[in-house]
Every structure is written in C-alpha cells, then in structure tokens.
Structure 1
Amino acid sequence: MKFHKIISITIILVLSAMLSACSASEKTNAQSDNKKIKIGATAGPYGDQLNEGIKPYLEKKGYEVEIVEFNDYIQPNVALNEGDIDANVFQNYNYLKNFAEERDMDMIELIKVPTAPIGIYSKKHKSIDDVEDGHTVATSNDPVNQARALIMLEQIGWVKLKEGIEPTKASEKDIAEYIKKIVIEPLDPAQTPRALESVDYAFVNGNFAISSGLKLSEAVELEKTPPSYMIGVTLRGEDKDSQLGKDLIEAYQSEEFKKLNEENEKYQGYVWPDWMK
C-alpha cells in the first residue's frame, strides 16, 4: 500500500509540475504576443506616417508591427472592435463618436495627429469663383463628412443653412437656400477623387486626395480644419491606459516624428495638432 501511495504522490507531483510549466509557457507566449501588434489605416498619409515614423520607433521598443491597409471608413473600426487590429488611424473625433454610438462600440481617441485637410478639387475649373448654376458637386455620403462639406459650402457662399442647426449633423435637408444652384452628389468617400472626371467640383478627404495622387496645393479651396475634424489614433476603450497606448503617444510625440513632418515635402500643408505647435 505504501508503495502505491508513493507512486500516486509522485505522479501527482509530476503532473503539477507539467501544468505549471505549461501555464508559465502560455503566460510567456501571451506576453510575447502583446508585442505583436496590428495598426489599421487607410491608404495615403496616415499609413505613410505609420510606416515612416511610428513603426520604426515602436520596433526600437521591441514591438513587431504590421500596418493593415483599408480602403473604406467602415472596416477599420469593425476590425478594431472585433480585436483583429490593435489600433487604427484614419478618422476624426466626430466620425468616431457617431460611429461608436450608432453601433454601440467602446472606442476612444488616444491622440490627434498631423492631418491632411479636406479640400475642394476640380479638373474643370481653376477657382471656386467659376461656379455656375447647374454645376455638380461631389461630397462624401457619410453623415459626418457630408456635414463638414455643407458647412464649407456655406462658408464659401454657395448655400445657406437653416438657423440653429448642429454643424456636425447638417444634412442636405438643412439647406435653407441654394445661393448657387449647384447639384450635390453624395458618394462613398473613396470614390470622390475619381468623380473629378465627371463632376465640376468634389470635396475630397485629405487621405484619399493624397493616395489618389492629388496635392493639397492643387485644391481650389482647403478647409480651415477645426480640432474636432483632425485625425486621431483610435483604441478600444479597454486599452485606454495600456502600455501600447502609452507607447503610441510617445512615438507620435517623439522628436523623430516631428522632424519627419517638418522636413518631408509630402507632409507640407498638413494641419498640426496643438501638442506639435
């Protein structure tokens, strides 16, 4: 009996040791995986900033970084919410807030980044002064960026909006008067650069303008971008105080990143967040 008891105790101890070793191994692997991160961005300036300034900085801190490119404004947030990526860089705060509320997602803006402003572009006209009745104007079809375009249309004197509307929620039904008898054509944001072949003017978000080969200097009018429309880094709410969040802030606020934006010609004309000024 004693012999069997000793054997049983020995087996238990061996199994416990094996389980402890497996647990430690899994923990080590989990910690290691935390250094493997994926950051989503739309093609163009924010993906470029990540690849040229942020990824190298994070890699020096021991991260393995993969930049995932998206071609719309929906999937980067869906992927973030589902845990397929760890952060994204493509949207302004107004869009993020609207998107998260509509879909009951917990996402937060971590830090604002240098932003390519939205602009009015044209291949048919050299100035906004060339506008005539019947001219077609392409805008984004997502509510936040269409509101942004409508505010700008009012600022340049093409339309008059109803009194007392919320600027971030303006829609076509809020146009009180067409001062210029333009025809607004809402399109997917990624399609607005291509629309320049057929419309008179198009509002093109900075990232899609640059990724399609347009230069900010070619716009017939650029937005004076307010803080709420500047692009930010987005995380899941649960990661707000994570080490990744702290390291991303450190990377964006680094001298290396600031120097990149100061010296690289392709970033000229961007609107800088207050912390960079």
Structure 2
Amino acid sequence: MQASTFLKKTFSISTLALLLAACGSQTETASSAASDNAASATTEKKEIVFGTTVGDFGDMVKEEIKPLLEKKGYTVKLIEFTDYVRPNLALAEGELDINVFQHKPYLDDFKKEHKLDITEVFQVPTAPLGLYPGKLKSLDDIKDGSSVSAPNDPSNFARALVMMNDLGWVKLKDGVNPLTASKHDIAENQKNIQIVELEAAQLPRSRADVDFAIVNGNYAMSSGMKLTETLFQEPSFAYVNWAAVKTADKDSQWVKDVAEAYNSDEFKTYAKERFAGYKYPAAWGEAAAQGAASEAAATASAIPAEASAAQ
C-alpha cells in the first residue's frame, strides 16, 4: 500500500511538473511570437517596386524620384508596362508596391470591375490627351467620312468623344456624363466620322492609316511626338493622373515619403523643365484655380444639360 501511494504521489508530481513546463513553453512561445510581430510591425520598408507605363511616368521615376528616394535610404525598382491592364492587377497581386499611369475615372472603373482593393494617393504631372495629325494635317482639312483613331478603354474613349464634341465633329446627347460617354451617347455625327478604336499603345502608329489620332499623352511622348504637334487638347483637369497603392498601404511611411518626393521643390523644378506643357497636380497650387475654372467651363459649355436638373 505504501509503495502504491508513493508511486501515485510521484506520478502526480511528475505530471504537474510537465504541465507547468508545457505552460511555460507556451507562454514563452506566445511571448516570442508577440515580440517577433512587434519587431515586424516596426520594421521599415526599404525597397519600393514601381509600376508605370513606358514613357514619361517611367522617366520621372528613373530620372528624379529614384534618386530622391535613394537619399532617404530606399532601394527603388521600376517595372514598365505597355498596356493599361496589368499595372493594376500586378499591384493588387503584390508584384508592385505602387503604380503611376492612370487618371481617377479609369482607376475607379477598373477596381470596381475587377474587385480590387487599391486606392489613389497623390497626383502626378500628366500630358493632356491630344488630337494629332494623321493623313490630314489641319483641323480645317476635316471632311465627310474622315477617320479618327481613339483609345478603346471606356474612360479614355469618353474623353475622345468629348473632344470631338468640343470640335463640333459629333454632338453628344444633352445631359450626358462626360466621364462615361459612349457611342450610344452620340446624338449626331455631323461629319460622319469613322471612329477607329485601338489599344492606347497603338495610337501613335495608327496616324499613318487614319486622318487624325487622339493619343494619350504618355504614349505620345514615348513615341517621340511633341505636345506642340497637337491640333487640339482637352481642357479638363479631371484627368490628371494619380499614383495608386494597395488600400492597406495608403497610410504607410514609405507612401508618405514617395508622395513627398513627387511634391518636392526638386521634382517640381525638374517636371516644369522636362515636361513643359503638362497639367500639374492640384496640390502644387499654381494650376489648381485655373484647372477648376477651366474644367467647370468646359463641362458646362461642351455638353448642354437641359435635362440634368432632375438628376
């Protein structure tokens, strides 16, 4: 009996010791994990992967933004794209930290359609959409049945329609939203314009085959075209482009540092010399008042809104 009692006590003590050891181990593990998480949370991001379309936005990163961020201790990598689809998908999938190539109407449409959790964070200098000569060299050369190439994505195609409305080549329906205008919103095609819809990157080359081409600024610049060649430019400031990041990153320190670089005096001086004629971010001040007035006037006068009061 005494031996049995002794064995039971010994077993109980051993079991208790094991349980205490296990609890201690779990506590240490939990404490270690918490410490690791805290350390991870406080670790600053030091490599930033940019995604831009080829041309001016990529040049801005390579020539000015990268050196400015390197002074802050960052490593900068740039991936350039030749389309308007992959940059947002790559951002959402984590291949990029930030992209710079799009205006807000396009971003809003794209992230809604593809259910992406990305958001705009700051504006960047942007070449305006322009009408360039093709086989015909002057606006006065327009004739019945002339062909005009235009970007085929919905938001930029809407811009092209508004430009042709401004020129009197087509008439859009009263009250149409200029940000979402489509072919269905054409009330009259006074010049019987043949609109050729193409991927934006193909528009510069299309000039050999059409009478006029409406070309996105970044692709015009990357193709060696000049803003001084445009026959007509859109007046609206609604399409000044934005940088976008994953929504979870929008308040990160690295995003604030990138925004600071793009809004720095050094970058402003560089952009105004290197990209003269561009539309600049509202945050820069000098173009904000002019842009707001210009946009309001253009929207009000370009597309009559007789039926808009009920909206």
1:83 aligns with: 94
Verify: 1:270 aligned to 2:284, yes or no: no
Amino acid at match of 2:112: E
Verify: 1:140 aligned to 2:140, yes or no: no
1:175 aligns with: 186
**Selected match of 2:247 from 232, 237, 255:** 237
Between the aligned residues of both structures, percent identity stands at 46
Post-superposition offset of 1:47:
0.8
Query: What's the TM-score once normalised by structure 2's chain length?
Result: 0.79
**For 1:17-28, what aligned pairs fall within 5 Å after superposition?**
none
Moved more, 89-98 or 125-134: 125-134
Residues 138 and 195, structure 1, Cα contact 8 Å, conserved in 2: yes
**For 1:42-61, what aligned pairs fall within 5 Å after superposition?**
42-61=53-72
Amino acid at match of 1:72: D
* Secondary structure in structure 2 of the residue aligned to 1:133: coil
**For 1:65-80, what aligned pairs fall within 5 Å after superposition?**
65-80=76-91
Verify: 1:203 aligned to 2:211, yes or no: no
Structure 1 distance, partners of 2:184, 2:225, is 31
**Structure 2 residues not aligned, in runs of 5+:** 1-9, 11-19, 287-311
Post-superposition offset of 1:227:
3.2
Structure 2 distance, partners of 1:26, 1:80, is 24
Residues 81 and 105, structure 1, Cα contact 8 Å, conserved in 2: yes
Amino acid at match of 1:57: L
Residues 134 and 209, structure 2, Cα contact 8 Å, conserved in 1: no
1:93 aligns with: 104
Structure 1 distance, partners of 2:36, 2:251, is 26
Structure 1 distance, partners of 2:108, 2:30, is 45
Q: Which runs of 4+ in 1 moved over 3 A?
A: 16-33
Residues 52 and 81, structure 2, Cα contact 8 Å, conserved in 1: yes
Q: CA RMSD in A?
A: 2.7
How many residue pairs end up in the alignment? 274
Structure 2 distance, partners of 1:196, 1:263, is 28
2:270 aligns with: 260
2:128 aligns with: 117
Post-superposition offset of 1:40:
0.3
Amino acid at match of 2:78: I
Moved more, 37-46 or 118-127: 118-127
Residues 99 and 244, structure 2, Cα contact 8 Å, conserved in 1: yes
Amino acid at match of 2:188: E
Post-superposition offset of 1:107:
1.5
Q: Deviations over 1:188-232 (max 9, x none)?
A: 1111111111011111000000111111111111221x3321111
Q: Deviations over 1:65-116 (max 9, x none)?
A: 0011000000000000011100000000000001011111121111111110
* Secondary structure in structure 1 of the residue aligned to 2:269: helix
Residues 227 and 273, structure 1, Cα contact 8 Å, conserved in 2: no
Structure 1 distance, partners of 2:189, 2:139, is 15
Residues 127 and 217, structure 2, Cα contact 8 Å, conserved in 1: yes
2:200 aligns with: 189
**Structure 1 residues not aligned, in runs of 5+:** 2-8
Verify: 1:37 aligned to 2:48, yes or no: yes
Q: Deviations over 1:247-274 (max 9, x none)?
A: 111111111101101233xx11111122
**For 1:8-23, what aligned pairs fall within 5 Å after superposition?**
none
Structure 1 distance, partners of 2:112, 2:237, is 20
Residues 114 and 273, structure 1, Cα contact 8 Å, conserved in 2: yes
